[in-house]
Amino acid sequence: MVDYHAANNQAQQYPGGPQSYMEQENDWDRDLLLDPAWEKQQRKTFTAWCNSHLRKAGTQIENIEEDFRDGLKLMLLLEVISGERLPKPERGKMRVHKINNVNKALDFIASKGVKLVSIGAEEIVDGNAKMTLGMIWTIILRFAIQDISVEETSAKEGLLLWCQRKTAPYKNVNVQNFHISWKDGLAFNALIHRHRPELIDYEKLRKDDPVTNLNNAFEVAEKYLDIPKMLDAEDIVNTARPDEKAIMTYVSSFYHAFSGAQKAETAANRICKVLAVNQENEHLMEDYEKLASDLLEWIRRTIPWLENRAPEKTMAEMQQKLEDFRDYRRVHKPPKVQEKCQLEINFNTLQTKLRLSNRPAFMPSEGRMVSDINGAWHNLEGAEKGYEEWLLNEIRRLERLDHLAEKFRQKATIHESWTDGKEAMLTQKDYETASLSEVKALLRKHEAFESDLAAHQDRVEQIAAIAQELNELDYYDSPSVNARCQKICEQWDALGSLTQSRRESLERTEKQLESIDELYLEYAKRAAPFNNWMEGAMEDLQDMFIVHNIEEIEGLITAHEQFKSTLPEANKEREAIQAIQAEVQKIADYNGIKLSGNNPYTSITPESIDSKWDKVQQLVPQRDQALQEELARQQSNDHLRRQFANQANIVGPWIQNKMEEIGRISIEMNGTLEDQLTHLRQYEQSIIEYKPNIDQLEGDHQLIQEALIFDNKYTAYTMEHLRVGWEQLLTTIARTINEIENQILTRDAKGISQEQLHEYRASFNHFDKDHSGALMAEEFKACLISLGYDVENDKQGDAEFARIMGIVDPNNSGAVTFQAFIDFMSRETTDTDTADQVIASFKILAGDKNFITAEELRRELPPDQAEYCIARMAPYTGPDAAPGALDYMSFSTALYGESDL
């Protein structure tokens, strides 16, 4: 039986709600009496409906247009169905009394928000059937149908949707309207069977026997459900299209008769909704925990590799380490950057969903907070930066070592070649049997050797210095270098001692000898330094060099050109020395002197001078070519620097500009959230499309590293700086999009209008002076005060502000984000499901008991959600507990409090 007092209260809560629908139904005056069958059905149905209420007052009507003419039963009918008192009726028999009574009834109907079109008291008093039926239909619509609502639809659509859902499982039933869908009677029987299966044997009904079906339903409804018979089966079967209003009136009686079952269904739907939210949130929490664990494990495995500073012995081995590092940067790290960004997005989305469903914030297990991930990631990037710097420094060291080692071997070989046989020469006793001239020649020869020995002192010192530097740089083959250097130094000391001893011997002998060949002596003195100059020139022309820029190679080229400019003067010296030897031969020939052999004062022959001079002439163009090749290499390196710098100087400001633009977009309020989301996604796509420029820059950077280029004066941007900027840009735009998506979730879930969101954003931006996207505690307090919150600096205000900060900043970070701000504002103005509402819903399903059974849960809820509840509900231990009783109250409270579900 319908609760008319409740219906009336609902009507007062929604004074404008029914009017639009009522206006749609006011077409009764055009089509009501077009079909006599319809009029007959309406008379019968409306009369039965009126009598079902009038009998509560101990009366009824026989003729619908006659019995309401004096207005008395009409006023009585309205009092019964509304539960309210109407003005006292006039008891006179005159026409004016009747009109006044009907007007009182019509005024009461109008006071309920119903717009009466073309219905006047005179027509009712005159017994106008058309107007009387129209008036009764208006009353039925307002008090029996209007408040029916299913899934936010109303009136006719809500009643139709309820019928469709209730009859959906039944074969041969397809409710699409309120006329022909009911002709075979199966829909009426299905409604009864769905709620009271013991009253109908539905399987025995046949679609081809509509009269039997209709009579069965009407008789059962009247006998067991207290629904009066409002139509005859023949009225429906024998009409091509039964009257819609008659059918609606009849069906509404079924709806109200089963309203208790409807409440149970509504309660079950509420519980299902709450449980679905919890199940989804648990799944999101599990996904977050797994993704966080996997990412942290990858970081844990990677950092020791990056912190391994064990150097390799050769350049090739270290370059392979550098290639492995590049592979890590290009292949292994980018997916992890995306995982980290997605992890933060998932965390923010989960927290938003928890806030929107009035659930406590998600706290990841220890060590898996977003801050823990960020901390581990910071350590990873620190190790990564240190590893790259170590690699490059180590490669520079090995390059320097290889160069020094080769230079040591070259100089050592030259020196060892020069010292070969010198000890034997210094220890011979040839002067003991020599003549005076021969001794003098030996002494002069020895003087020339001493000059030569002194000239080689620099080379020995250079060899020792190179060996010392190799030791300081931890050259892997230092023992062999040290052994060779030690041998050279010991031999050098021995040569010095032997040279001094031989000079002393020759000087003692010189006192006994006199004549000397001045020309030989002059030749020897000039030939020795010239020979040393040529040997030094040959050594310099073959000396290895290493440079790192164009300026250094140009300096070597300049020095080489200066050396070449001295060659003409050196050639003159060579010709002069050769002229001395020619003069010796001329004098000998002139005086008939037979020369005994080579110049006694020197072993440097004119042939050796010419041979070395030719060698110098050959080495000069070779040196030219080597220097030009190195110049070309340095020019190529400079081109690589410029190529990288040109692109880096574009990409760097572009990234910075985009970061600034995203910052501006995140605080502006242009268009709807959907417009902003569309704009941001387009903006994100434009950023993603810029990725080839980053890839090109990576390629240029790889060429620079492969060329062993370690500096670039053309740009302040490093590849590491640009990589970090690019990753931050992608992360920032993804976070900004996620913030807008969460705002849309909040808006839709809380029913916030676009204007409210604009107002919230304007207030937030006004106090966000530094455009950081977050309000510090004092800024947030000022914002609250501007919105009318009493959080001034007194005891009560401080307590209120502490309460609000506990809501918007549960982690005590000291900052309030815009998402937390709108969550708080929407929570202040919007209702959400509460634990009390869920408890009330379970109470309905439990038949008003303080506990519920597994059987009841499985009957009322979908299987997966029923089992979800059974697995988590504790046994009920109250004094009225029955076997198998489950505690739904504690379970409902846990859904909204601290829970480990």
Q: Give backbone dihedrals phi and psi of 741, rounded to 5 degrees, phi first.
A: -60, -40
Q: CA angle at residue 443 from 438 to 449, to 5 degrees?
A: 125
Residue at token pair 């590293």: 705
Beta-carbon contacts of 559 under 8 Å, excluding residues fewer than 6 positions away, are none
Q: Which of 86-100, 340-354, 817-831 has the lowest mean pLDDT?
A: 817-831
DSSP 30-53: HHTTSSHHHHHHHHHHHHHHHHHH
Task: For 425-441, give one letter per residue: b (16+ CB within 10 A) or e.
Answer: ebeeeebeebeebbbbb
Q: Which of 127, 102, 260 is nearest to 196 (CA)?
A: 260
* pLDDT interval class at 517 (50, 70, 90): low
Q: Which residues are 875's β-sheet partners?
A: 886
* pLDDT interval class at 896 (50, 70, 90): confident
Q: Residue 549: its pLDDT value, please?
A: 85
- Amino acid identity of residue 31, one-letter, is D
First to last CA, the chain: 41
**CA neighbours within 13 Å on the CB side: how many for 859?**
11
Q: Residue 31: its pLDDT value, please?
A: 44
Q: Which residues are 267's β-sheet partners?
A: none
Return the axis-axis angle of helices 155-167 and 244-257, rounded to nearest 10°.
70
- Interatomic CA distance for residues 83 and 76, integer angstroms: 10
- Name the burial class of residue 69, with classes exposed (0-12), middle (13-18) and buried (19+) by CB atoms within 10 angstroms of its CB: buried
Residue at token pair 């600034």: 660
* pLDDT interval class at 23 (50, 70, 90): very low
- Interatomic CA distance for residues 604 and 717, integer angstroms: 60
Whether 442 and 600 have beta carbons less than 8 Å apart is answered as yes
Q: What are 109-160's pLDDT values in tens digits?
A: 888 877 777 788 898 898 888 889 888 888 888 887 776 666 656 678 888 8
- Tokens representing 523 are 């030749």
User: Taking 50 as the threshold, does the pLDDT of residue 472 lie above it?
Assistant: yes
**What's the whole-number mean pLDDT along residues 553-577?**
90
User: Taking 60 as the threshold, does the pLDDT of residue 34 lie above it?
Assistant: no
| SS3 track for 725-741 | HHHHHHHHHHHHHHHHH
pTM, 2 dp: 0.52
The H or E element that residue 102 is part of is helix 95-111
DSSP 396-424: HHHHHHHHHHHHHHHHHHHHHHHHTTHHH
**What's the whole-number mean pLDDT along residues 415-419?**
85
For strand 815-817 and strand 774-776, is the pairing parallel, antiparallel, or unpaired?
A: antiparallel
How many CB atoms sit inside 10 A of residue 757's CB? 20
Task: For 22-34, give one letter per residue: b (16+ CB within 10 A) or e.
Answer: beebbebeeebee
Q: Residue 11: its pLDDT value, please?
A: 34
Q: What percent of the chain has pLDDT over 70?
A: 89
Return the axis-axis angle of helices 155-167 and 186-195, rounded to nearest 10°.
80
How many CB atoms sit inside 10 A of residue 316's CB? 9
Q: Give backbone dihedrals phi and psi of 875, rounded to 5 degrees, phi first.
A: -60, 145
Q: Which of 120, 154, 156 is nearest to 135 (CA)?
A: 120
Beta-carbon contacts of 327 under 8 Å, excluding residues fewer than 6 positions away, are none
Q: What percent of the chain has pLDDT over 90?
A: 20
Q: Residue 41: its pLDDT value, please?
A: 85
Q: Give backbone dihedrals phi and psi of 437, rounded to 5 degrees, phi first.
A: -65, -35
- Interatomic CA distance for residues 63 and 58, integer angstroms: 17
Q: CA angle at residue 832 from 674 to 750, to 5 degrees?
A: 15
Whether 655 and 729 have beta carbons less than 8 Å apart is answered as yes
Q: Residue 8: its pLDDT value, please?
A: 35
Residue at token pair 């204007």: 755
Q: Residue 900: its pLDDT value, please?
A: 37
**What's the whole-number mean pLDDT along residues 651-668?**
84
The H or E element that residue 845 is part of is helix 835-845
Q: Residue 159: its pLDDT value, please?
A: 86
User: Taking 90 as the threshold, does the pLDDT of residue 892 lie above it?
Assistant: no
Whether 637 and 552 have beta carbons less than 8 Å apart is answered as no
Q: Which of 804, 806, 807 is nearest to 785 (CA)?
A: 804
Q: Residue 261: its pLDDT value, please?
A: 64
* pLDDT interval class at 194 (50, 70, 90): confident
- Tokens representing 727 are 């990753």
DSSP 543-579: -----SSHHHHHHHHHHHHHHHHTHHHHHHHHHHHHH
The H or E element that residue 817 is part of is strand 815-817
Q: What are 783-815's pLDDT values in tens digits?
A: 887 777 777 777 777 888 888 888 888 888 888
Q: Residue 35: its pLDDT value, please?
A: 67
3-state DSSP percent of the chain in helix, strand and coil, to 5: 75, 0, 25
Sign, Cα dihedral of 731, 734, 736, 738: negative
**Computed over its alpha carbons, how large is the radius of gyration of the chain?**
54
Beta-carbon contacts of 466 under 8 Å, excluding residues fewer than 6 positions away, are 404, 407, 408, 411
Q: Residue 736: its pLDDT value, please?
A: 86
Q: Give backbone dihedrals phi and psi of 699, rounded to 5 degrees, phi first.
A: -65, -45
Whether 146 and 155 have beta carbons less than 8 Å apart is answered as yes
Return the axis-axis angle of helices 818-829 and 754-767, rounded to nearest 10°.
130
- Interatomic CA distance for residues 269 and 285, integer angstroms: 24
Q: Which of 590-599, 733-742, 884-893 has the lowest mean pLDDT?
A: 590-599
Instruction: For residue 815, give the 3-state DSSP assignment.
Output: strand
The CB-based long-range contact list for 822-829 (8 Å cut-off, 24+ gap) reads 822/743, 822/746, 822/752, 822/757, 822/760, 823/352, 823/355, 823/356, 823/746, 825/756, 825/760, 826/746, 826/747, 826/750, 826/752, 827/355, 827/750, 829/750
- Tokens representing 14 are 């929604």
Instruction: For residue 775, give the 3-state DSSP assignment.
Output: strand
Sign, Cα dihedral of 672, 677, 683, 689: negative
For 468, 838, 853, 855, 859, the CA distances from 268, given in Å and listed in that order, are 88, 9, 14, 14, 10
DSSP state of 776: E
Q: Residue 639: its pLDDT value, please?
A: 93
- Interatomic CA distance for residues 663 and 174, integer angstroms: 56
Q: Residue 492: its pLDDT value, please?
A: 87
* pLDDT interval class at 260 (50, 70, 90): low
Q: Residue 654: its pLDDT value, please?
A: 95
* pLDDT interval class at 225 (50, 70, 90): confident
User: Taking 90 as the threshold, does the pLDDT of residue 377 lie above it?
Assistant: yes
Q: Which residues are 775's β-sheet partners?
A: 816
* pLDDT interval class at 215 (50, 70, 90): very high
Whether 233 and 210 have beta carbons less than 8 Å apart is answered as yes
Mean pLDDT of the chain: 83
Q: What are 841-862's pLDDT values in tens digits?
A: 888 888 888 899 988 888 788 8
User: Taking 60 as the threshold, does the pLDDT of residue 884 lie above it?
Assistant: yes
Q: What are 582-600's pLDDT values in tens digits?
A: 887 776 677 554 566 677 7
Q: Which of 215-224, 319-328, 424-433, 718-727 has the lowest mean pLDDT?
A: 424-433
User: Taking 90 as the threshold, does the pLDDT of residue 210 lie above it?
Assistant: yes
User: Taking 80 as the threshold, does the pLDDT of residue 42 lie above it?
Assistant: yes
* pLDDT interval class at 756 (50, 70, 90): confident
